[in-house]
């Protein structure tokens, strides 16, 4: 049936054919002007990977941990927690707007340390969120509504691709500070300090707490100290994104060091946490958003406004993942097992980094691949150029994002040799 | 330690006491101007209820189903689905941005009917959302971004309290059309048609598909037909909110009749669905958002833009509840069991309505309580005035919202007499 686009014809037809039961008319289209949007850059990689029939193909775009067989890994402590939860036959009543209280408490303690002065004085508020993205968005919305003096958010260059639309859709403006040095594949400390020193007061500065995404390049403690002092001088609002606590070095306290240092130094930060990677809870969507306030009264006011903001977005957060995470964090044996499993995941990643470099040397590569070992976390910024990436994909069926970022999680002892072969072939 | 508010002081202290480890200074407060927000009107009811020590107290504010013992009810089909899912030991990998495909498909079929022409011609797109609220918010964000010809959303008067901030925070303007007639405690059909006939073209009109919240007053089929005509004539964009399919009459097809009728009549509707009530999945946050488009190509374009919108809010939706819902809808025995259980819930509500009226008559009330039986769904707009509501709460510990709305779900065969007694006392 031809698409009818004007209402006049619609009314005429309806007038003529009252008994046309099935579809007498079609209303005009509301969405003719809606353009096809570009596909997600990372998902596009996985889609192309799926279509490839090469048995040696490798998907190094995926930002999800894989075991040494290349399979998704559900942590043992998670399965145990699930079994425990199932026996309790709990109901499915709505959580409070701010989420599951036991989870929020444990989430904050994990990040800040249970002996933290901030927690003792009740001057922080933590709400459960829809993983890291949900946390960042709640934070961005909160800034947009209540941090009205300055609208600019400074991201490191480069940053996670989704940071930009998160802050932009929330009404903030995006700017950047130098971070990654392509000539060293490392941290551009001088450039960062230089740029930060010029950021206008009260702007928001986003810092990746550990395992920077996409580069894997983290500042060293002494560099963090310098940044803290400078940021304090510039009077900037610090927003920490911690998506990899435990997953970066294998040690949860070590990975949270920067966050804790900044708080000790007097920064009243906002903090996003995700349990997608460190607990493998990806699709359960578990995260937290924390605001460190000046005192308990302010924390209460901030909490009330967070709830008012959250209620018209999704009312209250999903219960399942938070129950799992809370069970793990609050049950000593499970918490212990979790810490070991996180360490195991981090260690496997570190081992793959070392094996990749060893294999590249074996292949005869004369390049300096030290950065592969120095970088930390799930991702590695190889330094490969777009043409080289394209060759790797076309000739070797090795898939990664155009910026040369590979997910080390997709590397196994079974395929690291092939990966080294491919990288050497396109870079020699 | 005195709170330091200026950066100059902060730097000075920092300079004097480089070895002050714990907290050398506190950054100035970012949130001094943040006011304490008003408490949520409905949650406030539950909080007051919890504090009350009267053993006969009743919480009729809660918008969640209770069994005849006043307890939360987890459906048997849900427990069975959970057991099935647990036995499969599925992974926890991210769902796609638009959610679990099997769920979205079943969700659309449930609303539209599996033989629906729009499904056959693939001219709809359904995305999984964070229950009904999440669905409405995605919809309002989509309207705000792509329905730029008109910014007004017309809500029935009254409507669910959260509709207003959902649309407002998304950037739409709120208006209303007459709906509830306090003189009859019924539908103000003439008023509604009158107001709708004056709504400027292309604006958005929100319709509650069944079991209107908060009044329980639904249009009759012949009234829906007239509304459809006027709305078509006014060229309005219809946004259906269906939070109670199956829960209203006990029959899922009957409850979806208005939605299906409008689509047959050529309205390319937007539709929000929730599985919080009809599957008792409240805290799991299961819902869907559907856009009926002109054709399959438009549906693809709309889908791509929905994903671009969703990604910076929460990336992808929570898996657990969607797996449960999908399992139930796709497994014949579970689906059949579910339909029985939904009918059971709806029937208990209907029975309580009848018992309440019977008991009111027994108490000797001379008022016309017919509306208690005529109204449908979880809520009943009693017609009680604020002063009467206050007396009911103070003297009888019966808690409800100030507008006289009671959740019939909170009524049991054990307390319906007490409720009738209290209502009679404050209204005689």
What's the rounded mean pLDDT across residues B72-83?
97
pLDDT above 90 as % of chain B = 90
Which residue in B72, B92, B301 is closest to A280 by CB distance? Answer: B92
**Is the pLDDT confidence value at B14 over 90?**
no
pLDDT tens digits for range A255-282: 999 999 999 999 999 999 999 999 999 9
pLDDT at B46 over 90: no
Q: How confident is the model at residue B41 (pLDDT cuts 50, 70, 90)?
A: confident
| pLDDT tens, residue by residue, A134-151 | 999 999 999 999 999 999
Minimal Cα–Cα distance from A407 to chain B, Å?
15
Count Cβ atoms within 10 A of the Cβ of residue A105 and give its class: 0-12 exposed, 13-18 middle, 19 or more buried: middle
What is the per-residue pLDDT for A178? 98
Where does B163-273 have alpha helices with state H? 163-169, 189-196, 221-233, 252-255, 257-264
Q: Can you tell me the distance from the alpha carbon of B422 to that of B428, in angstroms, rounded to the nearest whole number?
A: 10
Does residue A47 have a pLDDT over 90?
A: no
A158: region left, alpha or beta (phi > 0 left; psi from -120 to 50 alpha): beta
Answer whether residue A250 shows pLDDT above 60: yes
Helix (H) or strand (E) holding A398: strand A398-399
Confidence band for A42, pLDDT divided at 50, 70 and 90: confident
Contacting residues of A for B128, CB less than 8 Å apart: none
Mean pLDDT over A179-195 rounds to: 96
Question: Which of B87, B113, B313, B378 is the best residue to mutate to test the A interface, defined by the most A CB atoms within 10 Å of its own CB?
Answer: B313
Lowest mean pLDDT among A243-252, B22-31, B260-269: B22-31
Instruction: Give residue A28's pLDDT.
Output: 64
SS3 B157: strand
- Residue B227 tokens read as 């509304």
The residues, ordered by sequence, that sit 6+ positions from B179 with a Cβ below 8 Å of its Cβ are B156, B157, B158, B159, B187, B188, B191, B192, B212, B215, B217
Total CB pairs under 8 A between chain A and B: 266
Query: ipTM score of the complex?
Result: 0.92
**What is the pLDDT averaged over residues A357-372?**
96
Query: What is the Cα–Cα distance from B301 to B312, expressed in whole angstroms?
Result: 18
Which segments within A311-351 are labelled E, that is strand?
none
Question: What is the mean pLDDT of the segment spanning A326-349?
Answer: 98
- Kind of pairing between the strands at A237-242 and A270-274: parallel
Interval B124-149: pLDDT, tens: 999 999 999 999 999 999 999 999 99
Q: How many CA atoms lie within 13 A of A420 on its CB side?
A: 24
Q: Are B407 and B345 in contact (CB under 8 A)?
A: no
Instruction: Using a pLDDT cut of 70, give the percent of chain A over it.
Output: 93
Window 258-287 of A: residues touching B by CB (8 A cutoff) are 264-268, 276, 280-285
Reply yes or no on whether the pLDDT at A4 is more than 90: no
Nearest CB among B79, B266, B316 relative to A23 is that of B266
What pLDDT shows up at residue A240?
Answer: 98
B34 touches chain A (CB under 8 A): yes
* pLDDT, position A21: 39
Distance CA A103, CA A109 (A): 10
CA distance A251 to A326: 19
Of all residues in chain B, the percent with pLDDT exceeding 70 is 93
Which residue of chain B comes nearest to A25, CA vs CA? B266
Strands in A130-172 per DSSP E: 152-157
CB hemisphere CA count around A132 (13 angstroms): 24
- CA distance to partner chain B, nearest, from residue A419 (Å): 24
CA atoms within a 13 Å half-sphere pointing along the CA-CB vector of A212: 22
Rounded to a whole number, what is the distance in Å from the CA of B44 to chain A's nearest CA? 12
Nearest to B130 among A276, A280, A314 (CB): A314
What are the backbone angles phi and psi of residue A208, rounded to the nearest 5°?
Answer: -85, 120
CB B427 within 8 A of CB B367: yes
Q: For B150, which residue in chain A has the nearest alpha carbon? A: A30
Mean pLDDT computed over A192-209:
98
**Cβ neighbours for B196, distance < 8 A, ≥ 6 positions apart:** B154, B177, B205, B227, B230, B231, B234, B236
Q: Which residues of A touch B268 (CB under 8 A)?
A: 26-27, 29-30
Q: Residue A236: in which H helix or E strand, if any?
A: none
First CA to last CA distance, chain B: 61
Tell me how close the Cα of A220 comes to any Cα of chain B, in angstroms: 19
pLDDT for A39 equals: 80
Q: Which positions in chain B touch A36 (Cβ < 8 Å)?
A: 300-301, 304
> Which among A354, A400, A350 is positioned nearest to A248, based on CA atoms?
A350
Q: Model confidence over B371-425: pLDDT tens digits?
A: 999 999 999 999 999 999 999 999 999 999 999 999 999 999 999 999 999 999 9
DSSP state of B214: T
What confidence score (pLDDT) does residue B82 get? 97
Q: Which pLDDT band, with edges at 50, 70 and 90, does B28 fall under?
A: low
Q: How confident is the model at residue B39 (pLDDT cuts 50, 70, 90)?
A: confident
Lowest-pLDDT range, A60-69, B98-107, B296-305? Answer: A60-69
Look over chain B and give the mean of its residue pLDDT values, rounded to a whole number: 93
SS3 state at B365: coil
What distance in Å separates residue B30's CA from the closest CA in chain A? 7
Q: What is the pLDDT of residue B21?
A: 40
| Mean pLDDT over the full length of chain A | 93
pLDDT band at residue A216 using 50, 70 and 90 as cut-offs: very high
Residue range A103-138, pLDDT digits in tens: 999 999 999 999 999 999 999 999 999 999 999 999
Residue B283 to residue A318, Cβ atoms within 8 A: yes
Distance from C-alpha of A135 to C-alpha of A209, rounded to nearest angstrom: 15
Cα dihedral B68, B253, B98, A327 in deg (nearest 10): 10
How far apart are the C-alpha atoms of B88 and B343, rounded to whole Å? 30
Contacts of A86 in chain B (CB under 8 A): 82, 86
pLDDT band (50, 70, 90) for residue B25 = very low
Residues B322 and B226 sit within 8 Å (Cβ to Cβ): no
Instruction: Give the number of residues written for chain A.
Output: 428
- pLDDT of A221 higher than 70: yes
CB contacts, 8 Å: B30 with chain A? 147, 237, 268
Q: Could you tell me the pTM of the whole model?
A: 0.93
Is 50 exceeded by the pLDDT of residue B15?
no
Torsion angle of the four alpha carbons A337, A339, A344, A345, in this order, in degrees rounded to the nearest 10: 120
pLDDT at position A34 over 80: yes
DSSP H or E segment with residue B125: strand B124-129
């Amino acid at each position: 049936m031809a698409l009818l686009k004007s209402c006049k014809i619609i009314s005429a037809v309806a007038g003529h054919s009252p008994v046309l039961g099935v579809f007498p008319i079609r209303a005009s289209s509301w969405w003719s002007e809606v353009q096809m949007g570009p596909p997600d850059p990372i998902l596009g990689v996985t889609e192309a990977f799926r279509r490839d029939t090469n048995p040696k193909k490798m998907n190094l775009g995926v930002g999800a941990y894989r075991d040494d067989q290349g399979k998704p890994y559900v942590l043992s402590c998670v399965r145990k927690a699930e079994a425990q939860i199932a026996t309790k036959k709990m109901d499915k009543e709505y959580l409070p707007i701010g989420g599951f209280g036991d989870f929020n408490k444990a989430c904050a303690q994990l990040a800040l340390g249970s002996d933290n002065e901030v927690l003792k004085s009740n001057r922080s508020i933590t709400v459960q969120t829809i993983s890291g993205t949900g946390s960042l968005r709640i934070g961005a919305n909160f800034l947009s509504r209540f941090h009205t003096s300055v609208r600019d958010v400074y991201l490191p260059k480069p940053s996670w691709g989704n940071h930009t639309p998160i802050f932009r859709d929330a009404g903030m403006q995006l700017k950047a500070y130098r971070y990654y040095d392509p000539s060293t594949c490392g941290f551009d400390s001088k450039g960062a300090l230089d740029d930060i020193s010029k950021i206008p007061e009260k702007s928001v500065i986003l810092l990746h707490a550990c395992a920077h995404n996409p580069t894997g390049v983290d500042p060293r403690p002494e560099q963090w100290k310098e940044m803290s002092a400078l940021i304090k001088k510039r009077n900037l609002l610090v927003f920490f994104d911690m998506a990899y606590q435990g997953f970066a070095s294998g040690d949860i306290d070590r990975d949270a060091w920067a966050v804790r240092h900044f708080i000790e130094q007097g920064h009243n930060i906002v903090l996003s946490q995700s349990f997608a990677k460190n607990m493998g809870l990806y699709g359960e969507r578990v995260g937290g958003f924390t605001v460190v306030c000046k005192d308990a009264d302010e924390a209460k006011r901030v909490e009330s406004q967070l709830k008012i903001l959250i209620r018209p977005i999704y009312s209250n957060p999903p219960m399942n993942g938070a129950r799992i995470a809370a069970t793990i964090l609050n049950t000593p044996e499970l918490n212990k097992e979790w810490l070991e499993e996180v360490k195991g995941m981090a260690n496997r990643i570190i081992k793959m980094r070392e094996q990749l470099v060893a294999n590249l040397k074996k292949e005869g590569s004369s390049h300096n691949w030290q950065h592969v070992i120095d970088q930390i976390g799930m991702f590695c910024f190889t330094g490969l150029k777009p043409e080289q990436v394209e060759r790797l994909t076309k000739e070797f069926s090795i898939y990664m994002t155009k910026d040369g970022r590979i997910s080390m999680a997709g590397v196994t002892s079974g395929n690291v040799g092939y990966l080294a072969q491919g990288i050497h072939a396109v870079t020699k």
